[in-house]
Amino acid sequence: MTFTALTSSSVSTYKLYINGKWEQSKSGQAIDIQSPYLYEAIGKVQAITKEEVDEAIHFAQKAQKEWADISLQERAKYLYKWADELVNMQDEIAEVIKKEVGKSYKDAKSEVVRTADFIRYTVEEALHIHGESMRGDSFPGGSQSKIAIIQRVPLGVVLAIPPFNYPVNLAAAKLAPALMAGNAVIFKPATQGAISGTKMIEALHKAEFPKGLVNLVTGRGSVIGDYLVEHKGINMISFTGGTNTGVNLAKKASMVPLVLELGGKDPGIVREDADLQEAAKHIISGAFSYSGQRCTAIKRVLVHESVANELIGILKEEIEKLSVGSPEDGSMVVPLIDDQSANFVQGLIDDAIKKGATLVTGNKRERNLVYPTLLDHVTEDMRVAWEEPFGPVLPVIRVSSDEEAINIANESEFGLQASVFTKDINKAFAIANKIETGSVQINGRTERGPDHFPFIGVKGSGMGAQGIRKSIESMTREKVTVLNLAE
Ligand code: G3P
């Protein structure tokens, strides 16, 4: 495949994908994509114009009508082929993900494989979704001669906007259900992540989907974001990203179904009866994998004061063993996506230390590489108790009861997930029932997968539900056809 990018001097310029063709934007402008750890541009993506957005949506609308008419089994063949092509391209795509968003090669590769699995499961799930029928006479006065047939039908053109941290997986997690449900897609990748997204579309192109069904539009969100969101040709929006952007998007999108997966401040609640070694293992993996750049990262620990010293001791020891450095070395803690993100995390650490938090380990920085940082005795007046760092800093708040932990957990503006660590299953459920999040993990780290589980953010963490079946449902609506039999 040589058509996706133009190679000039040292870096490639990747193209738009509109109506099945790789195109350069008429804007004549391209955006540099800087690697977060190579500190140089690794490529450029097109800055699309509004007119080109109109064209892409026009082609999508056209393609969707025919796509909705083809059988599920036919749609399945295209998606299976796409999954196969992703697997064929896994090394190449993983290399791009690594360079573009600074994720270790191993994690990048599992992202691609997870994506192929996701697509295949989506196909199978969609093939097994059935409609229902209702008899009229179950309602008082209703007649047996009336029968409602309820089917799920596509919404039209879905706008898919994934974040930088899973530029392939969270993109396909929107595209695959949209397509199996009979929709067309306008795919707007995060700017940082757009080359990985382009590679994913390259695999899709190889699967020879109908022209115009999936269109890749790249450009600065600040320039085309609102235009896309407010566009009359968009019938559904699936967005994963920051809470501020999501809230802004929800204000702009009128009368269009939305699924938003936004930020989080997932607490790890550690009861006095928890297995502390196990809890620490899950907390560390939850908090520091990919430098905490996951919406589902554990972003605060609420620990019972009677076991706090012991837990802190284990956490310190284990955190100091974490690999820190370049994704090229397979490090777990890697440079953050950009300097601004690192400055933000540093601001949270500085504020906490100034207000009296104890620095247990970390607070070391090399440019945008922030070392894993553990803060103890964090109190509610500190920003790090409430704000989402999206970086490798873990605040510990000591509590004296389950009730206090639940209250602090629920005071957050976010409500994505929470973990509860305890040996008492009854207490675990009692706490889980009171926590205001989409999911609660008992004795495990907060995470989205396995990908067929419902994935839900409440409060500032989003609206609607993802997870394979839920995503298909969110990208369809029910259509009722009523059969009136002659009596
Ligand atoms: O940040 C995106 C979110 O969906 C995280 O996914 O699989 O790392 O829990 P995961």
For the stretch 266-303, pLDDT in tens is 999 999 999 999 999 999 999 999 999 999 999 999 99
For the stretch 434-447, pLDDT in tens is 999 999 999 999 99
Compute the residue count for the chain. 487
447 lines ligand 1 (CB under 6 A): yes
Question: Which atom number of ligand 1 is nearest to the Cα of residue 165?
Answer: 1
For the stretch 198-216, pLDDT in tens is 999 999 999 999 999 999 9
d(Cα 279, Cα 80) in Å, to the nearest integer?
39
Identify whether residues 333 and 469 lie together within a single domain.
no
For the stretch 414-434, pLDDT in tens is 999 999 999 999 999 999 999
Q: Give the pLDDT of residue 373.
A: 98
Q: Give the pLDDT of residue 4.
A: 67
439 lines ligand 1 (CB under 6 A): no
For the stretch 313-341, pLDDT in tens is 999 999 999 999 999 999 999 999 999 99
- For the segment 218-247, the average pLDDT, to the nearest whole number, is 95
Question: Which atom number of ligand 1 is nearest to the Cα of residue 293?
Answer: 1
CATH number of the domain where residue 435 is located: 3.40.309.10
Please give the share of the chain, as a percent, with pLDDT higher than 90: 96
Res. 3: pLDDT tops 70: no
222: confidence class by pLDDT, cuts 50, 70, 90: confident
Identify whether residues 323 and 219 lie together within a single domain.
no
Q: Identify which of 416, 417, 419 has the alpha carbon closest to the alpha carbon of residue 458.
A: 416
Identify whether residues 71 and 199 lie together within a single domain.
yes
Phi-psi label, residue 82: left if phi above 0, alpha if psi -120 to 50, beta otherwise: alpha
CA 469 to ligand 1 centroid distance, Å: 17
**What is the SS3 assignment for 202-263?**
HHHHHCCCCCCCEEECCCCHHHHHHHHHHCCCCCEEEEECCHHHHHHHHHHCCCCCEEEECC
Question: Residue 16 in contact with residue 54, Cβ under 8 Å?
Answer: no
Res. 1: pLDDT tops 60: no
Predicted model pTM: 0.96
Q: Which two tokens stand for residue 23?
A: 């195109």
Identify whether residues 337 and 218 lie together within a single domain.
no
Identify whether residues 445 and 469 lie together within a single domain.
no
d(Cα 326, Cα 103) in Å, to the nearest integer?
9
220: confidence class by pLDDT, cuts 50, 70, 90: confident
CA 482 to ligand 1 centroid distance, Å: 42
Catalytic residue numbers, as ranges: 261, 295
CATH number of the domain where residue 72 is located: 3.40.605.10
In a domain, 486, yes or no: no
Identify whether residues 80 and 136 lie together within a single domain.
yes
295 lines ligand 1 (CB under 6 A): yes
125 lines ligand 1 (CB under 6 A): no
Phi-psi label, residue 177: left if phi above 0, alpha if psi -120 to 50, beta otherwise: alpha
Q: Give the pLDDT of residue 10.
A: 73
**What is the SS3 assignment for 285-339?**
HHHHHHHHCCCCCEEEEEEEHHHHHHHHHHHHHHHCCCCECCHHHCCCECCCCCH
For the stretch 35-90, pLDDT in tens is 999 999 999 999 999 999 999 999 999 999 999 999 999 999 999 999 999 999 99
Question: Which atom number of ligand 1 is nearest to the Cα of residue 166?
Answer: 2
451 lines ligand 1 (CB under 6 A): no
CA 179 to ligand 1 centroid distance, Å: 22
Question: Residue 452 in contact with residue 469, Cβ under 8 Å?
Answer: yes
Res. 2: pLDDT tops 50: no
296 lines ligand 1 (CB under 6 A): yes
In a domain, 484, yes or no: no
Q: Identify which of 124, 148, 129 has the alpha carbon closest to the alpha carbon of residue 138.
A: 148
In a domain, 378, yes or no: yes
CB atoms within 10 A of CB 142: 12
In a domain, 96, yes or no: yes
Identify whether residues 198 and 280 lie together within a single domain.
no
Question: Residue 77 in contact with residue 44, Cβ under 8 Å?
Answer: no
